[in-house]
Chain A
Amino acid sequence: MSELLDYGRAGRTLALTDIIDMHAHFGNWSWHIPDTTAAGLVAVMDRVGVRSMLCSHMQCMGADCARGNREVLAVMRAFPGRILGYLIVWPWSEAAVKAEVARCLDAGFVGAKLHDLSGFPYTHPSYTPVYEAANDRRLPILFHTFGQDHQFAQVGEIARRYPDATILVAHLRTMNEAAYYRIAREHPNVFVDTVGSGAARGLVERAVAAIGADKIVWGSDAYCYGLPQQIGKVLGAKISDEDKVKILSGNAQRILARRAR
């Protein structure tokens, strides 16, 4: 019996569970997305019962990061507490990155999202200001990972060098699944996120068995993906409701509560 499964099966709002989506996006991208408004995102959050969403701009996969951060800041201000911002940077200059990080953190961003579609390794020196700020302020950094060994090697190195930053590795998936578990076991500050379009059967159960529910956070990748589809894999997983609550909310709350004031 899972009461959370019953909520999902009935399409009832998961009220009072303070669910936090740790992986979401805002901004245009190449394929058609039916609704690219922040209000549309918040409407979906309300239907499902998601309290807050950590958003980075789609330009995390591009170069116009300053524009992306401005647009995310605007929706953070339009929906305070509902949409929280991950800052993004294009690593062309350490000084420029440092200035952008300072500007964004002063404005209220709560973490950073880095994507290696830029072609730069995560160990590129220009990312140093992001890591130093995250370490000093105990902020989360969401790294795009997609099962590639070199990504885990780089992220593992960052996790080791900056132990007070919270490191989130994205897209737990069946390809190289063991690498996600290995990096989470090796580093106390590394968490795995559940985002994946195909929602592979049994993946959440295997992750809980491998690393424990305390090391897993939920994300939707909205609006690349649909948030209601992404929450189903957790609500329907053959794990305890206690573990589901940790994945959907408790772990995220602890990560955000670590932030220095």
Chain B
Amino acid sequence: MPMEVDRRQFLQLAGANAAALALGPIGAAAPGTSEKAGQTQTDIELFDVQCGFGGMTPVDPKVVSVEELVTEMARLRIGAALVHTATEDHENDAPAANEAINAACKSNPSLVRCPIVMPGNCGDLRNEKEQVAAHVKQGCGAVIVRPSVDYWTTARWACDALFGALQERRVPVYCREGLVSLDQVGDLAGRYPSLPLIITKRHYRMLRMLLPLMKTFPNVYLAIGSDYTAHRGIEHFVATVGAKRLLFGTGFPEAESMSAVTQLMYAEISDEQKRLIGAGNLKRLIAEIKR
């Protein structure tokens, strides 16, 4: 149980000068110490939909190992994670990245594969059905598409076979900002209505786009990791599209994972809704993959 920090201890910790503080009243008393209505009493299970390892993180010279990811998950009591190589847009060798993901997940049962897929119409990759079948067999929980990095288009003539195969097996598709535009997400969501599309790294200024997109397409899900930091943004989306449409994610290793944790845990929603967002929704989507 966390220790209660009383006011005197707190001031000592802060190194504050009591006399000086007495000269600087800041008004009303501190908020009450009682538990707030609806406040979480127990740990909420967390399943991170938006995290990675290895590769490169801009401005950080250190390559983040799988062990560091797993250690950070343990520190914050994040039970499982859907993983890709970091960052999603800086990986130039998709087959090698997928091998690294496979290796990481084989040795860490808390990690779930999120490999890169792309149209196989140039002869250098297996055809789409085979790619999807292989990833499903290996236990993927979703796949990443990166048309802007891998130089393909989401026009039907270029990728219908890929998205058709993914829809057939109901494999969730991870669509990150900068890799797949919201216009493309909307187009794909309409064309493949049984295909779950997870949008990630959408920031706090985009609500005028995100909300109608999610209202229009029930197969679109929003990850609340970095940079989704809208004021009361979780509450707003829960009220308008429902808690089943949001997924907990952190943005590790670019972002500080704890920011996403507190964003969810302090949201003014029920514990049941936190459980859905924290892990339940992603577990359900993964369970619905036709293996």
Contact = CB atoms under 8 A, between A and B. Distances in A.
B122 interface: no
Contact of A257 (B23, B208, B259): B23
Nearest to A52: B26
Interface string B22-40: 0111111111110110011
Contact of B30 (A18, A80, A225, A226): A18
Interface string A218-261: 00001111111111110111000110011001110110111101
A32 B207 contact: yes
Contacts of B31: 13, 15, 45-46, 49-51
Contact of A197 (B4, B21, B33, B203): B203
Given A174-B59, A250-B13, A253-B21, A47 B39 contact: yes
Nearest to A173: B59
B268 A197 contact: no
Given A34-B235, A229-B262, A16 B40 contact: no
Interface residues of A, number: 77
Given A9-B43, A51-B30, A227 B255 contact: no
A117 to B, nearest CB: 15
Contact of A235 (B7, B28, B258): B258
28 contacts: A5-B258, A6-B2, A8-B258, A8-B261, A10-B40, A11-B40, A16-B4, A35-B235, A46-B32, A47-B268, A51-B26, A174-B60, A175-B59, A198-B227, A201-B254, A225-B231, A226-B263, A229-B259, A231-B262, A231-B266, A232-B256, A233-B259, A236-B76, A245-B13, A249-B10, A249-B16, A253-B16, A257-B20
Interface of B: 2-7, 10-11, 13-17, 20-21, 23-33, 35-36, 39-44, 57-60, 75-77, 203-208, 211, 226-227, 229-233, 235-236, 251-268, 274
